[in-house]
A and B are shown apart, each in its own frame.
Chain A
Amino acid sequence: MLLVIEQFLNGLQFGLLLFLLAAGLTLVFGIMDFVNLAHGSLYMMGAYFAATFVAWTGNFLLGAILALGATLLLGIVLEFVALRHLYGRDHLDHVLATFGLILFFNEAVRLIWGPAGLALPLPAWLTVPVAILPGIYYPAYRLAIIVVALMVALLLYVGVMRTRVGMLIRAGASNREMIGALGINIKLLYTMVFGLGAALAGLAGLMQAPILTVQIGMGENILILAFVIIVIGGIGSIRGAFLAAIFVGIIDTMGRAFLPNLLRQVLSSTAASTAAPALSSMLIYLLMAIVLVLRPEGLFPANRR
């Protein structure tokens, strides 16, 4: 039972991280109609920056904030120098150009930090177990992730629901005239939105760094999950992305934790140990396949046809 709660919370935490990543992706896609595969690279940079700045300053929080700022800056520079020239082009062009960026980033990281990957140790005050319920303990840091991510999600929600920019996101607007007609400086808006997306990716990257990984190529693996979430959650919908991310996070984590045992009840031991890892990794994609069959537009699409 304890294990179930723990895995559930782990799933929730993973799902929230995925949401941060997916939200950034959807934002950029929703406002600028831009497909950014290099979003995963920004996630990776967030992690690398965090590991580096924390090591330099010796202070976890300071290092994290610096990393966040650095990723934000990186995103803005990227948009300004390269990506803004691609707005309005075919999505395929976006895919290819940002694919090239991924190669570049992975190689640049290898050049600067070496191929081995980094570690980001947690300060002592974040490693204590916290009693969330009488007798049930959960690591403080993971709890912190959940809290921070939920707060950011709330901020995003307020931003999307209450501001003019948010209205554009909800309308799925990528129409320059319409945006201009609302008296908003388009170029500045686009740059800011991209920066926000980069910051979200960087935040997700730096938050997971101490408990998961800081290595080359980490962005790509998780980016695909973000795609799956957007597809499951629904086209153009941040609320859908939130729900889908939680759902996916929980299913993936708990699936990996409990599926092998479940299978062992049903199948022979050898069959279970062969099938279990394969099935666990396939679980999310099977989910996506089912959603596609039943509801091709996702579970909570922004526009109902």
Chain B
Amino acid sequence: MKNFDMRTAATALMVAGLLLLPLYSQLSGNVFALTLFTRIVILALAAASLNLIMGYGGMMSFGHAAYLGIGGYAVGILAQEGLGSGFIQFPVALAASALYALVIGALSLRTRGVYFIMITLAFAQMAYYVASSLARYGGDDGLTIYKRSDFGGLINLSNRTQFYYLCLAGLLGVVFLIWRIVNSRFGVVVQGLRSNEQRMQAIGFPANRYKLVCFVISGTLCGLAGALLANNTDFISPAVMYWTRSGDLMVMVILGGMGTLFGPVVGAVVYLVLEELLSQVTEYWALIMGPLLLLIVLFGRGGIMGLLGRFSRG
């Protein structure tokens, strides 16, 4: 009997590719690939954090991009005010994201289903508008970050390769963390809540408490992505939180395969590479992307990981 699992093979291949990318970039002189994939890795981290609440927790949040903004603005605002140390900026980014998640989560989890989707969307848009109104920090035009987060002698974020490996380490670390979490007591409760909330309440679990904690963890991890993103672009603007960006994240998670560990990573890579390739072909790539999404929803059950899984059984 073949023990060959297409999913594991594909995942291993992808991780290997990501690890070796800077080498390829150096050898071929293609710097653009490195910057592109840094962005991809960061957004994959964000998608992985969203997968925790969506794929495992069954909470369809349409406001996840807010954390990219919060994490990013934490870095940007502190940099503007003269606090350039990464040791201050990153913890603040995480704390701010956690706080926002706590408040928004507590409010949003009073609803279910499509209303939950609408409300998370509304709150994220609120964050967008608030950021747009911060004249001191650039408002609509955004805020330039003149110096990347300073980590002393530990690591130099201005060095593209070092920064890439930092982001990749962050991604792999987060995936590992999520792996431990979903199999822990907490994780099985959250998954149970996704499966049948009424049943879980009947056996004695206070549903909202567990969902809220899951929500906060997810938001905090995405805040990390936000802080990295701001460093990557040396710039932060409200556009990062615009609701279509939340949609992008959702698409990555679903495309890759909800509720699988590496699904969001695969989804992010495929989605962003596709976007990049299509935009080089035509200026109106969204004309193709839009209907493509529609088709994926209509026919692609379980995303890419699901597809690979079906090939394994065959």
- Chain A directly contacts chain B within the complex, with at least one CB pair under 8 Å: yes
Q: Evaluate contact between B60 and A97: CB separation under 8 angstroms.
A: no
- Interface stretch of the complex, out of B16-24, B126-134, B189-197, B263-271: B126-134
Among residues of A, the one whose C-beta sits closest to the C-beta of B134 is A278
Whether B107 sits at the interface, judged by CB under 8 Å, is: yes
Interface locus among B211-219, B225-233, B286-294: B286-294
A100 touches B292 (CB 8 A): yes
Is A209 in the interface zone, CB < 8 Å from B? Answer: no
B276 to chain A: closest CB distance in Å? 16
Q: Which of B114, B118, B243, B297 contacts A100 (CB 8 A)?
A: B297
Is the C-beta of A227 less than 8 angstroms from some C-beta in chain B?
yes
Task: Give 1 or 0 for each of A111-139: 1 = CB within 8 Å of chain B CB.
Answer: 10000000000000000000000000000
B179 interface contact, C-beta 8 A? no
| Cβ contact within 8 Å between B298 and A95 | no
B299 vs chain A, min Cβ distance (A): 10
- CB proximity of A272 to chain B, nearest CB, Å: 12
Chain A proximity of B117: nearest CB distance (Å): 6
A230 partner residues in chain B, CB cutoff 8 A: 118
Nearest-Cβ distance from residue A79 to partner chain B, whole angstroms: 14
Contact B130 A281 (CB under 8 A): yes
Contacts A82-B294, A104-B290 hold; do A289 and B114 have CB atoms under 8 A apart?
no
Interface residue? A18 (CB, 8 A):
no
A157 at the interface (CB under 8 A from B): no
* A235 CB contacts on chain B under 8 angstroms: 115
1/0 per position for B287-314, CB-CB distance to A under 8 A? 1011111101110000000000000000
Give the complex CA separation of A227 and B135 in angstroms: 28
Contact A103 B297 (CB under 8 A): no
Q: Does A2 contact B (CB under 8 A)?
A: no
Beta-carbon contact of B133 and A220 below 8 Å: no
The CA of A285 and the CA of B289, in the complex, are separated in Å by: 31
Binds A, one of B4-12, B72-80, B246-254: B246-254
B13 interface residue, CB < 8 Å from A? no
Interface size on B, residues (CB 8 A): 43
> Pick the contact of B290 from A85, A86, A107, A280 — CB < 8 Å?
A107
B69 to A: closest C-beta gap in Å: 14
Please report the C-alpha to C-alpha distance between residue A29 and residue B115 in the assembled complex, in whole angstroms.
11
In chain B, positions 47-100 with a C-beta closer than 8 Å to chain A are: 60, 62
Interface residue B165 (Cβ < 8 Å from any Cβ of A): no
B244 interface residue (CB < 8 Å to A): yes
In the complex, what's the smallest C-beta–C-beta distance from A282 to chain B, in angstroms? 6
Which residues of A are found within 8 Å of B113, using beta-carbon distances? 91
Which of A86, A91, A102 is close to B117, meaning CB atoms less than 8 Å apart? A91
Closest to B124 in A: A224
A3 contacts the other chain (Cβ, under 8 Å)? no
Is B111 in contact with A99, judged by CB distance below 8 angstroms?
Answer: no
Q: Which of B117, B123, B126, B285 has the most CB of A within 10 A?
A: B126
**Given known contacts A95-B62, A96-B251, A99-B293, what 17 new A-B pairs fall within 8 Å (CB)?**
A86-B298, A92-B60, A95-B114, A97-B293, A97-B294, A100-B290, A103-B244, A107-B285, A110-B284, A220-B244, A274-B136, A278-B130, A281-B126, A281-B129, A281-B130, A292-B108, A293-B110
Chain A residues within 8 Å of B, Cβ to Cβ: 29, 35, 82, 85-86, 91-93, 95-97, 99-108, 110-111, 220-221, 224, 227-228, 230-231, 235, 274, 277-278, 280-282, 285, 288-289, 292-293, 296
Residue pairs across A and B with Cβ atoms less than 8 A apart, 22 shown, are A82-B294, A91-B113, A92-B254, A95-B60, A95-B62, A95-B114, A97-B297, A100-B293, A104-B287, A107-B285, A108-B287, A110-B284, A111-B284, A224-B125, A224-B243, A227-B119, A274-B134, A281-B132, A282-B130, A285-B125, A285-B126, A293-B110
